[in-house]
Amino acid sequence: MTHVAVLGGGNWGTAYAAIMADAGCTVRLWARRQEVADEINSTHLNSGYLADRVLPETITATSSYADALDGAEIVVLAVPSQTLRSNLADWRDLLPKDAPIVSLMKGIELGTGERMSQVIAEAGGVEQDRIVVVSGPNLAPEIAARQPAAAVVAAVSARARAKVAEASATAYFRPYLGTDVVGTEIAGATKNVIALAVGMASGMGMGDNTMASLLTRGLAETARLGAALGADPQTFLGLAGVGDLVATCASPLSRNRTFGYRLGSGMSLEEVIASTKQTAEGVKSCESILQLARGVDVDVPIVENVAAVVHDGRAPQDVTDALMSRARKHETS
Ligand SMILES: NC(=O)c1ccc[n+]([C@@H]2O[C@H](COP(=O)([O-])OP(=O)(O)OC[C@H]3O[C@@H](n4cnc5c(N)ncnc54)[C@H](O)[C@@H]3O)[C@@H](O)[C@H]2O)c1
Ligand SMILES: O=P(O)(O)OC[C@H](O)CO
């Protein structure tokens, strides 16, 4: 049995812990709050995040990260992208020296513009060939209900990705292998911003043509940015690209889409922030993705407009005009 530490007992950390337990691993789940760890240990429930899922008995929880990391053969990180660096400052000295470190995060760090694998290498002192990124159309409540889904397990090391894929394969969760860490991370982070835009459009009463247009043009700007950063264009047609974009933009379970929907339906930014209890990564990553794109001179008009709404007070209604009145261009340029 592989022994795994999952650091982060929120929505996805808990659902991923359940995947790995169902795959035959023993899992130690670190929850920031003692009451969450206590509830998991006494009732096998994490009612604040995944109320309907009874967790396997091979998951035990702790609020001590030292305890969680003790003896771990794989470490899975599932915290908000913007707190990862400070989390790693606490964890760095306790991380195992030879185990794969898995990133489940879908965001770009504000200020540095770094992808999560870069933050893990830098702030966690982890060699690139131990870092593994898992991404795909994986809405946590559906996975927790054991509905079939697939994901890509991307890493530069064949050994690391094979180990993580093996430890995450169940009858309902199918890992595919990948080598494109950059593309997988750019796709995962940017789809959250496109989902904010789709949510806004939906909140304003727009229908499926608008959604499909935003999704398609959103994929175009994501792939453009990825290519400029060295990603494999094929990645954007895969699970981390189109797959996750479709799931997130279409689903009312998505926190990013819901955040956008609330803005589009007339709530103020402050009201939407106050009503959002879980991590909607795109809200902060729109800013860092925009900076990243400017740094490599890539045009990302949807990301730019979402950032204008979320950070500069532009009304969602004004985004339609801003996007529809742009200079005419070739679709594939
Ligand atoms: N929920 C999903 O369906 C899903 C699926 C795939 C990927 N992801 C990605 O996984 C990552 C984690 O998302 P999630 O859904 O588990 O989020 P969440 O908001 O449900 O949980 C985040 C967890 O991080 C913990 N945490 C640790 N340090 C923290 C700090 N300093 N500040 C705030 N919280 C801190 C929180 O206590 C909480 O347990 C995100 O990058 C997200 O994009 C989520
Ligand atoms: O709820 P969201 O918007 O963070 O999306 C969750 C997952 O990333 C979907 O794959």
135 and 28 in a common domain: yes
**What is the distance of C-alpha 139 from the center of its chain?**
10
Nearest-ligand number for the alpha carbon of 144: 1
108 touches 83 (CB < 8 A): no
60 touches 37 (CB < 8 A): no
Largest CA distance in the chain: 61
Give the integer Cα–Cα distance in Å for 129 and 249: 32
156 and 17 in a common domain: yes
Q: What is the tens place of the pLDDT at every residue in 175-189?
A: 999 999 999 999 999
Instruction: Name the band, by pLDDT with cuts 50, 70 and 90, for residue 135.
Output: very high
**Which H or E run contains 234?**
none
Q: Which of 163, 191, 284, 329 is catalytic?
A: 191
In a domain, 124, yes or no: yes
- Which of 6, 19, 79, 256 is the best mutation target for the ligand 1 pocket, counting ligand atoms within 8 Å of the beta carbon and taking the most? 79
Identify which of 164, 19, 12 has the alpha carbon closest to the alpha carbon of residue 102. 164
In a domain, 333, yes or no: no
In a domain, 102, yes or no: yes
DSSP string, 268-295: -HHHHHHH--S--THHHHHHHHHHHHHH
209 and 103 in a common domain: no
304 and 211 in a common domain: yes
Summarize the confidence of residues 301-312 as an average pLDDT.
97
13 and 95 in a common domain: yes
Model's pTM, two decimal places? 0.98
Number of domains in the chain: 2
What ipTM, to 2 d.p.? 0.98
Check if 191 is active-site: yes
138 and 92 in a common domain: yes
28 touches 5 (CB < 8 A): yes
Summarize the confidence of residues 304-332 as an average pLDDT.
95
Ligand 1 centroid to Cα of residue 140, in Å, is 11
273 and 124 in a common domain: no
Q: Look up the CATH number of the domain holding residue 241.
A: 1.10.1040.10
Total residues found in the chain within this entry: 333
In a domain, 154, yes or no: yes
In a domain, 187, yes or no: no
216 and 70 in a common domain: no
Give the integer Cα–Cα distance in Å for 214 and 249: 9
For the chain, the average pLDDT equals 98
In a domain, 277, yes or no: yes
Summarize the confidence of residues 108-129 as an average pLDDT.
98
Ligand 1 centroid to Cα of residue 293, in Å, is 25
In a domain, 305, yes or no: yes
98 and 25 in a common domain: yes
DSSP 4: E
**Residues near 144 by beta carbon (within 8 Å), at least 6 away in sequence:** 14, 15, 18, 50, 52, 53
Helices 301-312, 282-295: axis angle to 10 degrees equals: 130
In the chain, % of residues over pLDDT 90: 99
In a domain, 332, yes or no: no
Instruction: Name the band, by pLDDT with cuts 50, 70 and 90, for residue 6.
Output: very high
Q: Which two tokens stand for residue 56?
A: 């396997």
318 and 204 in a common domain: yes
Answer yes or no: is 176 a known binding residue.
no
Identify which of 7, 143, 179 has the alpha carbon closest to the alpha carbon of residue 80. 7
Q: How far is CA 79 from CA 21, 88, 289, in A?
A: 19, 10, 19
Final residue before a domain boundary, out of 111, 144, 179: 179
31 touches 63 (CB < 8 A): yes
Summarize the confidence of residues 24-34 as an average pLDDT.
98
> Which pLDDT score, from 0 to 100, does residue 333 have?
81
Q: Look up the CATH number of the domain holding residue 134.
A: 3.40.50.720
Final residue before a domain boundary, out of 121, 144, 179: 179
Instruction: Name the band, by pLDDT with cuts 50, 70 and 90, for residue 79.
Output: very high
Ligand 1 centroid to Cα of residue 145, in Å, is 18
Final residue before a domain boundary, out of 179, 211, 239: 179
169 and 22 in a common domain: yes
- Can you give the residue range of the structural domain that contains 210? 192-324
Q: What is the tens place of the pLDDT at every residue in 39-51?
A: 999 999 999 999 9
Give the integer Cα–Cα distance in Å for 135 and 187: 9
150 and 197 in a common domain: no
